[in-house]
């Protein structure tokens, strides 16, 4: 039975406190087992949604977490509270990751404040649907690429000298990078690029002992959805999946724990986990 959401729109980039249907992204039922004890993770787009769930899961596994985000300060403070409730340190890093200099700065500040970086999660994303290719402006095209793929490159490159052997990079792709989306042309193109970057970096960083993998979720209920789609789309978001609903961020975060933990994924690099709600795709 398909589940529907309350129709609404909120102002971009979106705050959870403005959502009528709250996402589950605080990993309240999750119990860690020390898989990341003593490690430091940098999570971009970590203020809410998937990024928050991943950050809290990492904290529950014993990691300190630096959270890079745009300007959603109330959401970021909530993420910090969840991390610190687990007895771990949290560093909040506000700013626009479309700026290469800011990408380098968040890495440097993480190392200065938390000592090192063991895990990089490139998760920040921008999307804005259009109904016709002719409506896709040059500025939007460049903005989407600057946030969704350029920042992944800049953050990863800046972190290379700090990630020791056994560390890892985890990139957030999307089902739209696997199959495309006619209303999210630029977004889908960047998510396909994320997959190509993941495969290439997995090969390029093998000698450094750095694993590089990706998670490509299907529809996930986060503030980005009502912040970028119309009310009708929001109301039926995720209903077309075999599960009949979008994922909650808490359901996606364990994929990142798997890739972050050397105990669980020491032989995995260049792999993609695709939690897409029961959908099967060729390839």
How many domains is the chain partitioned into structurally?
1
Whether 151 is covered by a domain: the verdict is: yes
Contact indicator for 168, 119 with CB cutoff of 8 Å: yes
* Rounded-to-integer distance, Cα 125 and Cα 171, Å: 11
* Rounded-to-integer distance, Cα 207 and Cα 235, Å: 47
pLDDT of amino acid 3: 73
Alpha helices in 134-209 (DSSP H): 138-145, 151-159, 175-179, 185-204
Task: Identify the segments of the chain with pLDDT beneath 70.
Answer: 1-2, 282-283
Whether 15 is covered by a domain: the verdict is: no
Whether 21 is covered by a domain: the verdict is: no
Structure tokens at 14: 């979106």
242: how many CB neighbours lie within 10 A of its CB?
11
pLDDT of amino acid 57: 98
pLDDT of amino acid 69: 98
Whether 2 is covered by a domain: the verdict is: no
Q: Closest by alpha carbon to 122, among 103, 141, 102?
A: 103
Rounded to two decimals, the pTM is: 0.97
pLDDT of amino acid 281: 74
Determine the structural domain holding residue 83 and report its residue range.
36-273
Long-range interactions of 80-88: CB distance < 8 A, separation 24+? 82/26, 82/27, 82/52, 82/55, 82/56, 83/55, 83/56, 83/59, 86/32, 86/56, 86/59, 86/60, 88/59, 88/62, 88/63, 88/64
Whether 6 is covered by a domain: the verdict is: no
pLDDT of amino acid 2: 67
Q: Which domain CATH number covers 252?
A: 3.40.50.720
pLDDT of amino acid 280: 86
Whether 46 is covered by a domain: the verdict is: yes
Angle among Cα 104, 212, 220 to the nearest 5 degrees reads 85
* Enzyme catalytic residues: 187
Whether 28 is covered by a domain: the verdict is: no
pLDDT of amino acid 283: 53
Whether 255 is covered by a domain: the verdict is: yes
Angle among Cα 46, 52, 54 to the nearest 5 degrees reads 95
pLDDT of amino acid 159: 98
């Amino acid at each position: 039975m398909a589940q529907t959401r309350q129709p609404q729109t909120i102002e971009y980039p979106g705050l959870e406190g403005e959502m009528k249907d709250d996402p589950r992204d605080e990993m309240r039922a999750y119990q860690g087992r020390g898989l990341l004890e003593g490690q430091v993770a940098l999570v971009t787009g970590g203020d809410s949604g998937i990024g928050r769930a991943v950050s809290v899961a990492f904290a529950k596994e014993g990691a300190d977490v630096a959270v890079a985000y745009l300007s959603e300060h109330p959401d970021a403070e909530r993420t910090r509270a969840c991390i610190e409730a687990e007895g771990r340190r949290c560093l909040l890093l506000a700013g626009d990751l479309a700026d290469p200099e800011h990408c380098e700065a968040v890495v440097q500040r993480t190392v200065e404040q938390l000592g090192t970086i063991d895990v990089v999660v490139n998760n920040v994303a921008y999307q804005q649907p259009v109904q016709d290719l002719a409506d896709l402006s040059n500025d939007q095209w460049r903005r989407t690429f600057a946030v969704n793929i350029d920042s992944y490159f800049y953050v990863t490159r800046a972190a290379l000298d700090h990630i020791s052997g056994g560390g890892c990079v985890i990139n957030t792709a999307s089902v739209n990078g696997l199959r495309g989306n006619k209303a999210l042309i630029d977004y889908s193109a960047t998510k396909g690029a994320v997959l190509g970057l993941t495969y290439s970096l997995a090969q390029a960083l093998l000698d450094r002992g750095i694993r590089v993998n990706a998670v490509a979720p299907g529809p996930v209920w986060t503030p980005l959805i009502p912040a970028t789609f119309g009310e009708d789309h929001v109301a039926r978001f995720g209903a077309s999946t075999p599960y009949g609903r979008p994922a909650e961020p808490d359901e996606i975060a364990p994929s990142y724990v798997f890739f972050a933990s050397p105990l669980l994924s020491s032989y995995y690099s260049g792999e993609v986990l695709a939690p897409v709600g029961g959908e099967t795709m060729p390839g």
